Structure 1
């Protein structure tokens, strides 16, 4: 299993397939909310199994508030195998390579994923909030 930058149309399509399966179909997020105007300016990643099949996805982008990590998704059948952690580490490594350190990093974590992000020193901030009919926490850290 490996995580790669989705720097080709084929790899990006694989990342989108995971997001479609996890967010749109499984979690019933509106497709127009899942796939947004930031696709072109984001750096996308896809986790591939040993046969090259997509099993996870993520992206990050620069915003007016800092650097936002988002769209972390792992296929239901592949959860609990460390793929989420590999995606987070790959994204954090890429941010450091591309932007250096000293940045405000943030994300909106679904409640079941809070513990994963805490392993990477993200902290919750504020109250739970609803986004796409799913409860989240704002989480942040400084790179």
Structure 2
């Protein structure tokens, strides 16, 4: 059995890191999941972006942004070869740790296969299932 890779998650602020974030999102959402590219890009300047590295290689990405409703976690993406190795958990934890102390309403739109991941961090499904970019989701709200 292989040891889990060393995973490091940092805010992506340099141009190089942001390009890696956008490349990961393009690979996962546009190429693999067939999301329309025009739906993938938005709110980039007002978001706080994160880049997960596994053994020194770009492996995953995520972001959070303040909305009229609260703090929205979104665009969690892990490259196929790094899935199931703890990258997604490290990203969720890093994003939650970065939120302001007064972030009292934290939510996300979870793809159905990711619901169990977010539930581990205290998120609960709310409302009906819905379609976003051709993929089924549930809104989830943090109860911590």
What TM-score range do you get, normalising by the shorter chain? over 0.9
CA-atom RMSD in angstroms: 1.0
Q: Secondary structure at the match of 1:120?
A: coil
Cα distance per residue 1:65-110 (max 9 Å; x no partner):
0000000000111111111000000000000xxx204510000000
Structure 1 unmatched ranges of 5 or more: none
Query: Would the alpha carbon gap of residues 102 and 3 (structure 1) be closer, same or farther in structure 2, given more than 3 Å must change?
Result: closer
Counterpart mapping for 1:24-63 below 5 A: 24-36=30-42, 38-50=43-55, 52-63=56-67
- Runs of 4+, deviation exceeding 6 Å: none
Deviation at 1:142, TM superposition (A): 4.7
In 1: Cα distance, 2:30 partner to 2:52 partner: 18
1:55 counterpart SS class: strand
**1:102/1:142 contact within 8 Å kept:** no
Structure 2: any 5+ residue segments left out of the alignment?
A: 1-6
The answer to whether the Cα contact below 8 Å between 2:61 and 2:78 also exists between their aligned partners in 1 is: yes
For 2:4, the equivalent position in structure 1 comes to: none
Matched, 1:22 2:23: no
Q: Distance in 2 between matches of 1:70 and 1:11?
A: 17
CA distance in structure 1 between the aligned counterparts of 2:51 and 2:136, rounded to whole angstroms: 24
Aligned to 1:84: 88
Q: Which secondary structure does the structure 2 equivalent of 1:22 belong to? A: helix
Whole-Å Cα distance in 2 between the matches of residues 6 and 26 of structure 1?
A: 23
User: What CA distance in whole angstroms lies between the structure 1 residues aligned with 2:79 and 2:90?
Assistant: 14
Distance 1:24 1:43 in 2: 21
